[in-house]
Chain A
């Protein structure tokens, strides 16, 4: 047996141990996350609780992590004031401070890394964190992900303008940021989420003009429905939006399926929420599909647990997937081929179903013969494959605005259920972080010394004609043995 050699350009030993380590790290400082942190903090264990709010104005502008729809006020640009506001609006954090928990606001968790299949080089399990200026890694024994649920937007004509937004984004802007720019809203969806959204808006002094419902009866629970009725908010069943019309500042009116129109400045999509599973997914954690709990759910794996709606919406026996489908059928029916599906990449419904590339490429005749249908003759649907070809879902919102509806479109086209279409992957960083922020400016000497552009195998880049000539040795000498660019 030979002795084990050493490859200086391999990753071995180049990742230093993280400088901070906590017994438990909790991601998400809502009430569930805070409770989880408090539970972990008994007996003096070191606990870190991070919450990404307030997120930067720039992220809000790209609808990350919620579908803000351009309806945040300029207050979100003032970071320091925003941190104060958000902090004041999270009174449940008080006991966490008292319990000695390290609480960090405006701190984003963007990746979870652990050794496992295909990775053995990490000094331990770590979570990647970042604030406005820098990123760092934190080691943990236990991780609790309590990131909540995010908006599920659905396309209809005019949805890609300021004023069309999500229920979760509205709640955030009203309850935590004090920074909602609209006044007169229409709510899409009358299940619990829609009714709660309407009541919240009303309590914050907004005018709630109507709630629209695709089915022929109010879907939410009787108690909420009674409160909405008592508040005099009309629920218009069997009536759905067909187009949002607007001007420079976005939505001014909503055209409806019964031929009428409603003047409003904001249309709040409250059709459903999706558990935020991206951190777990990027860490290749297990998941399962449960239509009654909001779709794909993360499953507990070694040292990673979930709390709150991130673990799944409350199961009230309501089939969220079927409800979304009804909405999609109605709103999708109003879409033309030219309706934008992917806002980041400006890809239309016709581009998606035609499997066409962006407009900066030619569409030669052979390509125009291809479509989602022909692709599905070659194999089962895969959203990532469609994403690679059409760029739908590939943009800077990281697919948040369109991935769910693209999955539904794919499932419908393939005649499959949503659970049978593989989820489009989530990859770190699960929030867009600038190069200079995510960069490791304090990397190890080993990393610097062993860095090579590609494998670092001296013989690989020797020109064919030079093999076995003195030039081979010269190449090795001059390039430090490799393409050590």
Chain B
């Protein structure tokens, strides 16, 4: 093992988890962030952790039930999810998702309408049935990012907030130091997990990483009576009931956006709040009288195929999660740490998350897809 000193750029869920895994392996880690830990997508998301499509799925599922104990701080992880339909088309789609997962060995049960209503008392007469993931679940994003940060500090890792990374020093094709507004940090290896900024930073090192950025929105209600299972999706929404009882939901059209090197200063929401509210009132009619108390927005970065990139070039490991990075973070951190230390992921094949799949991509790929700001 060569890397004794690692600098991680970005204190989101991915960077913090990677740093935590590295610190557990005895590496001296410094995490630099332009703002506060978890202030970007990692603290603004739906908290879902059920990514059956990912090669990191098994590791995600293995780790979540242990995270509170491993980190020493609560994440509010709650297992399992129900996806419920209020239109025949939705039911058909959910049944296909169940079939697909069962084929892959991930248990998903079919529920009839009365079974859904029993598990989800806020559901209404319009419910047509649903499916029950016997895996996955949800956690509290705010608590989880702070838990990573604190756990990392407890292991001797260092987090420097309000310290945007501005450049890199190189020698012999390798990064030897990371430059930021708070100073220069020498390193044996660097991890770039800077969300939407990952592309620009990687470009400084000659690494091509095609990304487009989008704004996504969520709403939250005042507390509802606690349901047995808080992870309830459907009717075009993802979301969760918090352990306090609030219903936090998102979904629907995104907006492709453009901003400067340090990201947008503000993250406005739009009248999409009303469309989200409508779908939530349809999904959970028992909650229709509850007040919406907040809305918010976050920015996610997407690769052209919507799949993450976790890959290494020389002593630089890059990670961008294409909008599914919160739930996968326990596992993505593990994979990143493996790449930094061993050059390859120890627990699964992540070949198809590599950079090379975008080799030779057209320079104006965003134009042809229509992934442009308005």
Contact = CB atoms under 8 A, between A and B. Distances in A.
A282 to B, nearest CB: 8
A367 B306 contact: no
Contacts of A345: 244
Contact of A366 (B52, B73, B243, B374): B73
B215 A457 contact: no
Contact of B237 (A4, A10, A453): A453
A1 B363 CA distance: 9
A363 B223 CA distance: 22
A368 to B, nearest CB: 11
Contact of A388 (B43, B154, B256): B43
A210 B330 CA distance: 60
Contact of A440 (B83, B215, B274, B297): B274
A443 B275 contact: yes
A111 B273 contact: yes
A427 to B, nearest CB: 5
A432 B293 contact: yes
A285 to B, nearest CB: 10
Interface stretch (B111-119, B258-266, B333-341): B258-266
A9 B372 contact: no
Given A7-B371, A366-B73, A427-B294, A439 B278 contact: yes
Contact of A9 (B253, B279, B280): B253
Contacts of B25: none
Contacts of A12: 255, 370, 374
A361 B364 contact: no
Contact of A116 (B233, B268, B272): B268
Given A117-B268, A460-B322, A358 B305 contact: no
The secondary structure that dominates the B interface is: mixed
Nearest to B54: A464
Nearest to A115: B374
Contacts of A435: 221, 277-278, 280-281, 287-292
A398 B294 contact: yes
A199 to B, nearest CB: 36
A453 B253 contact: no
A370 interface: yes
Contacts of A479: 93, 96-97
Contact of A380 (B162, B238, B292): B162
A288 interface: no
A71 to B, nearest CB: 22
B271 interface: yes
A360 B300 CA distance: 31
Given A427-B294, A436-B289, A485-B236, A118 B215 contact: yes
B342 interface: no
B235 interface: yes
B170 interface: no
Nearest to A370: B150
Q: Which of B273, B288, B362 has the most CB of A within 10 A?
A: B273
A454 B323 contact: yes
Interface string A114-143: 001111111000101000000101000000
Contact of A460 (B76, B274, B305): B305
Contact of B96 (A118, A370, A459, A478): A478
Contacts of B269: 427-428
Contacts of B104: 463, 465
Nearest to B371: A7
Interface string A447-469: 10011111101011111110100
B36 interface: yes
A382 interface: yes
19 contacts: A5-B369, A10-B255, A11-B253, A111-B271, A116-B268, A117-B264, A118-B257, A119-B215, A121-B255, A126-B271, A367-B72, A434-B289, A435-B287, A452-B253, A454-B251, A454-B323, A455-B214, A485-B233, A485-B251
